[in-house]
Amino acid sequence: MSRQVHSIRINEDGPREGFQIESASIPTADKIELIDALTEAGLQEIQIASFVNPKKVPSMSDAEAVVAGVKMRPGVKYTALYMNPRGLERAIATGRLSIEGIGFSVCASEAFLARNENATPAMRKRRKREMIDIAGKFGVAPANSGNVSAAFGCNFQGDIGLDALMGVIESVHEFAAEYGCKIERIGLSDTMAWATPDKIRRSLDAIYNTYSGIEVSLHLHDTRGMAMANAFAGIDMGVREFDTSIGGLGGCPFAAHKGAAGNLCTEDFAFMCEEMGHQTGLDLDRLIEAARLAERIVGHPLPGKLKDGGSLSSLRKAIQAR
Amino acid sequence: MSRQVHSIRINEDGPREGFQIESASIPTADKIELIDALTEAGLQEIQIASFVNPKKVPSMSDAEAVVAGVKMRPGVKYTALYMNPRGLERAIATGRLSIEGIGFSVCASEAFLARNENATPAMRKRRKREMIDIAGKFGVAPANSGNVSAAFGCNFQGDIGLDALMGVIESVHEFAAEYGCKIERIGLSDTMAWATPDKIRRSLDAIYNTYSGIEVSLHLHDTRGMAMANAFAGIDMGVREFDTSIGGLGGCPFAAHKGAAGNLCTEDFAFMCEEMGHQTGLDLDRLIEAARLAERIVGHPLPGKLKDGGSLSSLRKAIQAR
């Protein structure tokens, strides 16, 4: 049985996805401290804020102040989430964020779209076009990438079968083609945690077989305890890029779960990668410290395990030093 | 990509492994209520007590009362843990437990053995012989099975490499051969959570290639967040039997972890199996109820996700009923 070693790219979503869901009002300085700690741990891409309606998501009303306060390391991408032209304009106006080309994102569930964004698929596409137009005025071209949210299922619509998923991915390609873009990379978001390793495997198999040379990234939630097994299945099938959250921060405020667990946990996932010989470029000890900081900031236990269980590298050192 | 469907056997360890580690003194009646709930959920094998020194493990001093109080369903195996002849005698004396043939268990780490059982490998083997002799007097023969604890690594000794593991498994076979037994089934216990899916895969590959027809069972801890991914790798390689704990109860009191997470979580694992089409024979809704009961009994949050996140079968029903 051969052991192939890969580089795995880990994009940190904790500051955005995590703080967005916390009910407590977290001081801006704490958010900045965590983001700086994540930079120190070696992360190359960190989503640090969400430019959404502050009336709907008050925890993100300090987005501009967070972006202004972060110690930015050259070469690291600091990104933000924006779901409409107004959010995009705010993000661009900071002058400090990596404004990537607007990707072609589609939601696999109409029911979730209605609930989460109060939109029909046609409305969402129209908004996306507006964003692409506005971005164009700022010199930002559309991207050769796409994303599918609720890719494996939806709490309000049910299972998204493989044929449905492939149909949605094809529609992403068609949407991109309207702008002369060719999808080179597609993200699959398991927004409401309907994926199992088996579904991940079959979906990736179909995607790689249908779209030669395409790269897939995964965004996984741990609401039903499957995130790490799904991530392993992803690595096994050739996925080299994952969104994660420090300490397992996160969840989805619109997904109707009281006890929604967070995203795939950054340090636990990095541990798995490194222990299996895959390179993440991350400093595991610093990640663990950042996870403990995140826990102190939110004021309640976070689901990540490694921050309590400890890494093996530290145990190996202690055993060798005896 | 073919989808093979299997029967997965889930052995519940929560009442023993879980309550053993809880510092609070849990009322005997609560333990019995949980065990009865686990029976109702369809489990076919439940480890319900540990006959250990009550001075060392006070939480298990009511083992006899627990065994006496459980509503036993015919056909279900109710087992107990015993690590020495005295414990075995106590278990047999209850007259209500499934006393299986004494298996040939070996610890892969001498350092852990010293710490956990205050024994050398030779001492442990001598104790095991005593137990086999005593069991023989009660008409209980040695079993055609073995177990390796600390199979993948040890917090006090470090990594257990594949060659070392295979050496230990060979010694289990030799030990059994002394009694004219042939090992048909071997359990691998990741006692201190050093396994990764990669190690699981390579170990199983080597074991199946070396010992034709052998069955392997896995006992996994989630201390570093790997339990579900390891379990998936196990299923994928052909493992059909797993030890789990309801709600993710458990941990190892001797493993020097303050924040030790528990065992592979019964209901989360059963969910993964069922969603992937493998049959467990378990009632997921009742398992979730039992997990919530376990949480109320121990008085603090347990790590299992499904009890908070909810199963997909219930969401599917709700969506269809609209």
pLDDT in tens, A267-317: 999 999 999 999 999 999 999 999 999 999 998 889 999 999 999 998 999
Q: Over 50: is that where the pLDDT of B1 sits?
A: no
Q: How confident is the model at residue A2 (pLDDT cuts 50, 70, 90)?
A: very low
The verdict on a CB contact (< 8 Å) between B308 and A276 is no
E strand or H helix that includes residue B138:
none
What is the rounded CA–CA span in Å between residue A240 and residue A244?
Answer: 13
Within 8 A of A257 by CB-CB distance, chain B residues are 308-310
Annotation says B107 is catalytic: no
Chain A stretch 31-60, residues whose beta carbon is closer than 8 A to a beta carbon of chain B:
none
Percent of chain A at pLDDT exceeding 90:
75
Tokens 């030990």 belong to which residue?
B175
- Tens digits of residue pLDDT in A127-175: 889 889 988 988 889 999 999 999 999 999 999 999 999 999 999 999 9
Query: What is the pLDDT, as a whole number, of residue B131?
Result: 87
Q: Work out the average pLDDT over B12-39.
A: 90
Put residue B68 in one of left, alpha, beta given phi > 0 → left and psi -120 to 50 → alpha: alpha
Query: What is the pLDDT, as a whole number, of residue A59?
Result: 85
User: For testing the chain A interface, which of B190, B220, B226, B246 should be mutated: the one with the most A CBs within 10 Å?
Assistant: B226
Tokens 């209850």 belong to which residue?
B94
Report yes or no: B229 at the A interface, CB cutoff 8 Å. yes
User: For testing the chain B interface, which of A312, A313, A317, A320 should be mutated: the one with the most B CBs within 10 Å?
Assistant: A312
The verdict on a CB contact (< 8 Å) between B261 and A225 is no
What is the rounded CA–CA span in Å between residue A44 and residue A274?
Answer: 16
Flag the least confident range among A185-189, A278-282, B31-35, B315-319: B315-319
Q: Which domains does chain B have, with CATH numbers?
A: 1-99+245-253+261-322 (3.20.20.70), 103-238 (3.20.20.70)
Query: What is the pLDDT, as a whole number, of residue B174?
Result: 96
Residue A317 burial by CB count (10 A; 0-12/13-18/19+): exposed, middle or buried? exposed
Query: What is the pLDDT, as a whole number, of residue A281?
Result: 97
Catalytic member of B154, B252, B265, B273? B252
The verdict on a CB contact (< 8 Å) between A158 and B319 is yes
Q: Work out the average pLDDT over B6-34.
A: 89
Chain A residue at shortest CA distance from B222: A305
The distance of B315 to chain A (nearest Cα, Å) reads 6
Sequence-distant (≥ 6) Cβ neighbours of residue A219 within 8 angstroms = A13, A187, A188, A189, A190, A191, A242, A243, A263, A264
Chain B residue at shortest CA distance from A276: B198
Short-list B245, B247, B244, CA closest to B291: B247
The verdict on a CB contact (< 8 Å) between B259 and A309 is yes
Query: What is the pLDDT, as a whole number, of residue A256?
Result: 52
What is the rounded CA–CA span in Å between residue A211 and residue A280?
Answer: 26
Q: Would you give the distance in Å from CA B244 to the centre of its chain?
A: 6
CB distance A278 to A8 below 8 Å: yes
Query: What is the pLDDT, as a whole number, of residue A1?
Result: 44
R_g over Cα of chain A: 19
The verdict on a CB contact (< 8 Å) between B156 and A319 is yes
Report yes or no: A153 at the B interface, CB cutoff 8 Å. yes
Helical spans, DSSP H, in chain B: 19-21, 28-40, 63-69, 85-94, 110-117, 121-137, 162-178, 197-210, 227-237, 266-275, 284-298, 306-309, 312-321
Among B261, B304, B309, the residue with its CB nearest the CB of A308 is B261
Query: What is the pLDDT, as a whole number, of residue A81?
Result: 92
Among A3, A224, A232, the residue with its CB nearest the CB of B271 is A224
Q: Work out the average pLDDT over B250-272.
A: 77
Chain A stretch 99-138, residues whose beta carbon is closer than 8 A to a beta carbon of chain B:
none
The distance of B69 to chain A (nearest Cα, Å) reads 33
Sequence-distant (≥ 6) Cβ neighbours of residue A242 within 8 angstroms = A8, A9, A10, A11, A217, A218, A219, A220, A231, A234, A264, A269
Q: Over 50: is that where the pLDDT of B74 sits?
A: yes
How many interchain CB pairs under 8 A, A with B? 141
Q: Over 90: is that where the pLDDT of B252 sits?
A: no
Chain A residue at shortest CA distance from B277: A198
User: For testing the chain B interface, which of A232, A264, A320 should be mutated: the one with the most B CBs within 10 Å?
Assistant: A232
Flag the least confident range among A159-168, A175-184, B113-122, B167-176: B113-122
Percent of chain B at pLDDT exceeding 90:
75
Query: What is the pLDDT, as a whole number, of residue B256?
Result: 52
Query: What is the pLDDT, as a whole number, of residue B23?
Result: 67
Q: How confident is the model at residue B233 (pLDDT cuts 50, 70, 90)?
A: very high
CB distance A141 to A99 below 8 Å: no
What is the rounded CA–CA span in Å between residue B81 and residue B88?
Answer: 8
Percent of chain B at pLDDT exceeding 70:
96
Mean pLDDT over the full length of chain A: 92
Flag the least confident range among A148-157, A249-258, B62-71: A249-258
User: For testing the chain A interface, which of B228, B274, B287, B320 should be mutated: the one with the most A CBs within 10 Å?
Assistant: B228
Query: What is the pLDDT, as a whole number, of residue A58?
Result: 85
DSSP class of B23: S
Helix (H, G, I), strand (E, B) or coil at A170: helix
Among B232, B271, B308, the residue with its CB nearest the CB of A197 is B232
Q: How many CB atoms sit inside 10 A of residue A177's CB?
A: 12
Percent of chain A at pLDDT exceeding 70:
96
Sequence-distant (≥ 6) Cβ neighbours of residue A21 within 8 angstroms = A59, A249, A250, A251, A252, A253, A260, A262
Helix (H, G, I), strand (E, B) or coil at A197: helix
CA distances from A314 to A124, A295, B29, B93, B260 (A): 48, 21, 42, 45, 16
Q: Over 70: is that where the pLDDT of A258 sits?
A: no
The distance of A2 to chain B (nearest Cα, Å) reads 9
- The better pLDDT of the pair B23, B93 is held by B93
The verdict on a CB contact (< 8 Å) between B229 and A225 is no
Q: How confident is the model at residue A28 (pLDDT cuts 50, 70, 90)?
A: very high
Q: Over 60: is that where the pLDDT of B197 sits?
A: yes
Q: For the complex shown, is ipTM > 0.85?
A: yes
What is the rounded CA–CA span in Å between residue B172 and residue B149?
Answer: 12
CA distances from A41 to A34, A69, B33 (A): 11, 18, 47
Q: Work out the average pLDDT over B272-298.
A: 96
Query: What is the pLDDT, as a whole number, of residue B2?
Result: 47
Q: Over 60: is that where the pLDDT of B254 sits?
A: no
Flag the least confident range among A248-252, B104-108, B208-212, B233-237: A248-252
Among A202, A259, A276, the residue with its CB nearest the CB of B198 is A276
CA angle B56, B62, B64 (to 5 degrees): 115
Within 8 A of B276 by CB-CB distance, chain A residues are 196-198
Mean pLDDT over the full length of chain B: 92
Within 8 A of B1 by CB-CB distance, chain A residues are 201-202, 205
